[in-house]
Amino acid sequence: MEKGAGSPSVGGSYPQKNAEILSSQYGINLFLAGLLLTFAWAVHAVGISKSHLLSYLITLMLIQLLWMLWSHAGARWLKCGITLFAVITLILDSFKIGYYVDFSNCLSPTEGIFPVTHAVHTILQVYFLWCHAKDIIQSFKTLERFGVIHSVFTNLLLWTNGVLTESKHQLNEHKERLITLGFGNITIVLDDHAPQCNCTTTTLCSIFSQGIYYLYPFNIEYHILASTMLYVLWKNIGRKVEHHQQYKTPFKFHGITVGMIFGLIVLTSTIAIVVVYLIQIGRSKVKSELALTMFYLHAIFVLALMCTAGIVALLIYRLEDRSLDNSKNPARKLDAELLVGTAAGSWLLSWGSILAIICAQAHPKYTWYNLPYSALVIIEKYIQNLFIIESIHREQEKVNDSIKTLRIVTISRGSTLSLSPSYKEIYNGRAAGDGGEVPCLFKGSICGRENDAGAGAAKEETSQENSSVMHSASDFSFYSRNSVTNNKRRILKNIAAFLFLCNLSLWIPPAFGCRPEYDNGLEEIVFGFEPWIIVVNLAMPFSIFYRMHSAASLFEVNCKT
């Protein structure tokens, strides 16, 4: 295995392609079998229990652990993000172990083995991804393809299991809220597979059972990020990579103050809205309607700001004359596909809400706010996707090497020459003439010489002054172009920073139970309770992931701009 570059081993492309097809089919069948087992457990299929599902997942994780230990086979945001989510996932596993200990009298042993195996799997997988996320495997390619694709679909199944468990908990709370809102005609019995025995320590059981569901959003994000990184690793197996210099730009807070301030205001207000929403929703019909109205008005305002910022960024791109980087890049291609693919989840929910508002016979006042909210969700994602995809495909600005070698001096009326500010200062727009000195730029050498104390000094001084006038015109043009470029970059960086924090803000409500798609009630009346709940449960995980993935992509855009 090689780090980031290399050439493929000797051999034709057909065996490699066949290995890719075989491994992908293996992974898909692995995933479908687990998906069917998960569905069977969810609907209480005869002979299928939770222990069967957990046993299957434990087996998959153990196989992946063996492969990672044998194998000697991302981006900055992926590594940092997955580490944060992995740490919280380990806390979730510890809560599950404590929950099992308290209910051990009536729980299957697999429910105790699963969190222990999952914790070990999480630690080793994060270590593996930190060390090998950017590797390009050139040895044992067929075996490695099966190992990596096994890991991809194992994480997808763990993600599915987390989504299902968290959704069942949300559904129970959702039914209670609908009854409070006056939708008493909706009757459905929901089962959360609660253990059929008493807890040994009531206080600890309450902490573990409630805490688990607040930590699930991080566990869900962890597995989807891991599967993304592993998929890129799988696509890169045997890939030819040309040796070329990569320009890495670190994240800097300098110059993005405005975007950060507005973004932090949105983040703080969103957290406050979510807290109030969760407290008020379900208390009474009046309080629930006020909570929904408050949520919609806040979201409409934030989405409108995001649309405006995205349009401004796209207009700046239209004014620039920069080429796009169309070279093959699996990670970049996956980023674009994930943005569009996962946005479809929230688009589906938004169109469902719009259709429900149009077709419903009765419209409570708060439901009308859902119309502009749903429309803005569709428009905002459309604009933001265009901005991010174009940003990650734009070539980075490179400073011309010939410009870097310029010697910059100033000419005074006396015979003494003094060096002007460095190129870096002028390039960043910080240089200014001082004491009447005029900077002079041209390629090759300094633009003046010391006057000799002899004949012809006056003539040479006159020619130098004429030269300085000619150069000063081009200098002002250079400064002007550079100033405009810097201003555009500064605006784009502030927009990226603002959108980054806005996407984090919009990730929080659905991830922590603030879901008006559940609580609005109008969609259930039009489509029916069970059909709409199925649609929401299928689409919501993609909508949540979209926000986190967008935030990560915008972080990279900010660093690259």
Long-range contacts of 26-31 (CB under 8 A, 24+ apart): 26/146, 26/149, 26/150, 27/149, 27/150, 27/152, 27/153, 28/153, 30/60, 30/150, 30/153, 30/154, 30/157, 31/153, 31/156, 31/157
Question: Which two structure tokens, joined as six digits, stand for 441?
Answer: 């730029």
Considering only 26-35, 123-132, 202-211, 394-403, which range has the smallest mean pLDDT? 394-403
Distances (CA, A) of 547 to 384, 550, 553: 11, 5, 10
The predicted structure's pLDDT at residue 513: 76
Residue 48 near residue 55 (C-beta atoms within 8 A): no
Region 484-508: mean pLDDT is 88
Mean of per-residue pLDDT scores for the chain: 75
The number of helix segments (H) and strand segments (E) in the chain equals 16, 5
- pLDDT at 499 > cutoff 60: yes
Nearest-angstrom CA–CA distance, 406 and 424: 11
Count of alpha carbons within 13 angstroms of residue 421, beta-carbon side: 13
The pLDDT tens digits of the residues spanning 55-94 come to 999 999 998 888 877 764 444 445 666 788 889 899 999 9
The pLDDT tens digits of the residues spanning 336-390 come to 888 888 888 889 899 989 998 888 887 888 888 999 999 999 999 999 999 998 8
DSSP H helices, 394-512, are 401-404, 423-427, 457-511
The predicted structure's pLDDT at residue 455: 46
Torsion of CA 45, 46, 47, 53, to 10 degrees: 0
The predicted structure's pLDDT at residue 179: 65
- pLDDT at 164 > cutoff 90: no
Residue 504 near residue 551 (C-beta atoms within 8 A): yes
- pLDDT at 414 > cutoff 70: no
- pLDDT at 431 > cutoff 50: no
Which pTM value belongs to this model? 0.67
The predicted structure's pLDDT at residue 266: 94
The predicted structure's pLDDT at residue 278: 87
| Cβ neighbourhood burial of 25 (10 Å; 0-12, 13-18, 19+) | exposed
Residue 92 near residue 122 (C-beta atoms within 8 A): no
Nearest-angstrom CA–CA distance, 545 and 224: 8
Report the 10 Å Cβ neighbour count for 313. Answer: 27
Place of tokens 């905002």: 380
Question: Which two structure tokens, joined as six digits, stand for 390?
Answer: 């174009």
40 — pLDDT class (breaks 50, 70, 90):
confident
The predicted structure's pLDDT at residue 193: 57
Cβ within 8 Å of residue 55, ≥6 positions away: 110
Count of alpha carbons within 13 angstroms of residue 63, beta-carbon side: 18
Nearest-angstrom CA–CA distance, 374 and 346: 9
280 — pLDDT class (breaks 50, 70, 90):
confident
Most confident of 15-19, 41-45, 540-544: 540-544
472 — pLDDT class (breaks 50, 70, 90):
low
Considering only 73-77, 99-103, 127-131, 210-214, which range has the smallest mean pLDDT? 73-77
- Per-residue DSSP letter, 365: G
The predicted structure's pLDDT at residue 120: 94
